[in-house]
Amino acid sequence: MIKGVFFDLYNTLIGYQPSREEMTVKLLAELGYTINEDDLYLPVNKADEYFYQQNAQKPISLRESAEQMAVWSHYYRIILEEIGIEPKPELINNLISRWKNLKWEMALYQDVIPCMENLKKRNLKIGLISNAEKDMSELFNKTGLNKYLETVVISQEVGVTKPNPLIFQAALKKSGLTAKEVLYIGDQYQVDYMGAMNVGLNPVLLDRRNCYLDLKDCRRITGLAELEYCIDNT
């Protein structure tokens, strides 16, 4: 029986506003390239997978500046190659430079608060496991998540990042729940879904952009409104 629901944070509960795809379309347009936002969903997701794998090996923020630049350069190389644009070093450097000057904020997805209210009514423990590298209390207060989150574990606290089992185990210990009593929802297949599964949690892949249609071996939803069915059928 499910007694708790734990979430990933970025691209699960909160996302960029404007979206990264929207901002990338804008940057490329400034540089003379016309791309549709929809065409960036899969490329950005593929680049994200690379970034999270790199971050799991060693947090990007702890690396030397040259190494950080190399990671971001490869990140944009992936996106450009996927959309058929030659990844020239000058173009990549231009994108990175322009991205730093963009104005954006992190905002909750529209389905988050209704989901949280429903979980609260069902007396389920609500938790969060994130690869965040700083205190997130200000963001939680701003978005209202602080009213719902009972168990919060971030990588800064435990010294490891997902998919390392230790970060999931730390959340279980903090909540007093067993792995089988917890449903875990995240947007990355390797980092979130497989990471949670390897510890024995009940994972659900949140695929808001339909980037994982080819996966047949996992429970996948496209929005948090579908979560209730997963809880009732686990």
DSSP result, 157-175? HHS--TTSHHHHHHHHHHH
Q: What is the phi-psi region of residue 44: left when phi exceeds 0, alpha when psi lies from -120 to 50, beta otherwise?
A: alpha
Range of the domain at 64: 19-103
Assess whether 195 and 112 both reside in one domain: yes
Predicted confidence (pLDDT) per residue in 41-90, tens digit? 999 999 999 998 898 888 888 889 999 999 999 999 999 999 999 999 99
The total number of structural domains that make up the chain:
2
Mean pLDDT of the chain: 95
Assess whether 160 and 219 both reside in one domain: yes
pLDDT band at 230; cut points 50, 70, 90:
very high
Assess whether 132 and 182 both reside in one domain: yes
Using a pLDDT cut of 70, give the percent of the chain over it. Answer: 100
d(CA 68, CA 123): 43
Do you know the residue count of the chain? 234
Q: What is the pTM of this model?
A: 0.91
Strand partners, 6: 127, 184
Residue that is last in its domain, among 39, 68, 103: 103
Which residues, in sequence order, are CB contacts of 113 under 8 Å at separation 6+? Answer: 144
Other beta carbons within 10 Å of 1: 6
CB 186 within 8 A of CB 205: yes
Residue that is last in its domain, among 103, 131, 148: 103
- Is the pLDDT at 113 greater than 80, yes or no? yes
Assess whether 115 and 207 both reside in one domain: yes
CB 197 within 8 A of CB 182: no
CB 150 within 8 A of CB 177: no
Assess whether 30 and 9 both reside in one domain: no
d(CA 104, CA 114): 24
